[in-house]
Chain A
Amino acid sequence: MNPYGSIFPEVLDLEPLRKKHIPLYRRQERIQMDGNGAAAIASLQFWRAPIYAGFPITPSTKWLEMISTYINAGRFVVEENGRKVSAKRVKLLEAEHAVADYLVGAAAACRELIFMTATSSVGLDHMTETTRSLGASGLGNVVLINVYRATANYPLCIEGDPSDAFAHRDDGWIQVVCRGKQQIYDTLIQLPVVGMDPRVLIPTMPGYYGIKDSHRSEPFFVEPDSKIHEFQDSLIPWRCPLPGLIVGETAMGNCVTSAHFQGFKWEQKKRMDQVLSVLTASSKKFEEVFGRPGIVPFEAYFMEDRPPRVLVAMGPDAGTAYEVIRRRRKEGERLGLVVVRLLTPFPSSLLREALKSAGVIGVVNNAFHSERGHLTALVSEAVSGLPIQTTGFFAGLGGADISVRSWEKMIDLLSVLKPGESRFVHEGEVL
């Protein structure tokens, strides 16, 4: 038996679907939109994405409304057997859980196509029963856009806070953080090819911060659909295998004994271990095709001279950190900045190499954690055994802006805090 399942080339003829695609863009253009719009435009440009699923609340993510607006405007209407049909559709379901299960069914039935949804916070939590099994299923053709919000915490707050992303860190998905509309757009294009690579076959969860990135507009470049197809088709196999099959070559989700379960998990881990190399190769190809950098595990700024003090952050507020550090370096302070993008699998080895010369690291957590912070824990593990003092900060919780004064304060505290200590910082004050 083929452990990755048989491929039945006659079952699904992809060519008519590919031919039905009506491009949104025929040349590169610079447009202005918010983050949900950037994600929606990229999603609509895939010929492999005929159905978009969602539940309109908990809380709402405008991605789905943007998708349905374009479809409703008749942008994808084609003639088929003398009748006009839409090559793309939206399917609304009655809850996020139903959306996740719907994606499982659709993705298993058509492994070569991309099935997408967008959700947030408790909406993602409501999917949990399915996201955990989806993560292991081998259905790398599912893309879940997570708009980070604090709602998954208590009390209710819809602003950007990655507590939802961290809560789902161990669901077995590839999670990539975006900041800025160009990154959102580019990540949406690149990430499915990583998830659908036959060595990986893991669903993907691109994410961006609610309000700060989802609802704020900025200009970005959109690429012609044909170029996106060229990029994706060069990396996605025409026929995708499916390692989630349990017994025989067509059965999914069977109940198994511990022996089979353990072997399955070993396979799953092996596939997750391939992500970094596949991501790196696809980023190289992305840059060749589009002329912009592809997804990196983390962004490193001012690290060339191996600065002794480094801040590790994620999300859109890192832009403010960049400006603060740039100014302080002009004043003679050797400071560095690392902005994490790949949350799962966490790029521990690469990060260890980048940080090995630092004396003190301050890790900035934007989500509440009952101990030192999710990101602090991950970074501390990455540099464990090295003579580095790791301190942590909580800032920007619930989507609060991290002001210049707050970044200044955190930099100042790097020299004061003891290893392992953490502080809440807001508007330049320690809470």
Chain B
Amino acid sequence: MTLKYLYISILCILLISTTVALQISEASSYYKSLSKQSTFTAGDTIELKFLFSGNADVYLYCSNSYGSVVLNPIATNTKLSFSIPKSVSKKSGILNWQLISDKTEVTGQVNIKPKTSIKTIESYLGPPSIEAGGTDFTMLVIIPTDDLDNPLIDSTKVEIKRQFLVNQNTSDVFTEHGFGYRNIYSETKSGRILISSEVLELNSKEYDVNVVPAIPTNFEINAERIHDYADGNQITTFKTTVIKDRYCNNVSDGTFVTFFITNKDGYKSKTSGLTINGIAVAELLHPDHEEQWSIKAYVEGMANSNKIELDYKQAISDFDVVFSEDKRTINIGPLKSFMSQRAPDGLQVNLLIYKDGLLQEQFIESSFNGKTKFHLNTDRFPKGNYNLEIKVAGMTKTFSDMSYE
């Protein structure tokens, strides 16, 4: 009986002592951060040390700008040390950590500053072309980074240099939120601005921005021709004066100019040209009969010219028509031009054939050596009476009631 009590009491003591021991070991698990330094430079070796007693089976959670990792300690008798991996410690920003143990929670953070030396200047320039006149601008954004790709600390001085025509100047901006920027305005002249920047004695490469002329202003036109006869052969050339923007820059080459030609009947034709050195040239064939043209040019939606008038004199005053014996071959010509010279080849001759007031057929031929010939086929035009009409250079000759066998 006594033995039984003894046995029970021993068991009880054992049980109590293990519980107490467990409690002691829990209570004695103790961690204290030994690392005093709270500011580091990117790329520094960061080692977080803890004084501890008790359980060494702990982890360190740490989180930088991009993500989180969990580290295992290197433990000695009383100290735990965690070395932060290089790829984590090289990024600037707050690195916060937490010791993960089953008992106490130890947390903290270190501030990793970017390096003070520069490796690259990241520049973003846009838009790449701007309009002359001092209101349009391009923007240069500079992100200076250290060799670990961290943006440099704010308030870093950035020198922005620009050159345009005879001017060259430098201005300073200071970075904020990791970058610096400057608006670069155009001047009244067109041309090319060269831009570069310098941070901590590191120079960027050269950037350029095209300053294109502003929109065209109104201009004048004139016409050139070798004679004023409506011979349907020569070419009239229309030309603009030098088209300029409002700051007297020649407009960009390739500006599209359309010439609208209105004839005396009110019909419109158009021809067009692109500017080179501010001048656009367009051409049109002379009319083949007497005509008055009025011409006006447009850069559509932006500018237009004055209106000019051109008169074309009749070049061919009369023409002969000779029928063959059976009247089925019709010879027209010689067509004589303004100096009685034979009209240039290619003058259009029309023959219209009517029967009983209805148009049966229209033949169009071009003159060759001042002459044209038509032949009326017996199969197409059988026996009967026809009216013939011949049109050349705006003139018409009519032959009524021609009877054919």
Tell whether A and B belong to one assembly.
Answer: no
Please give the residue numbers on chain B whose beta carbons come within 8 Å of chain A beta carbons, in ascending order.
none
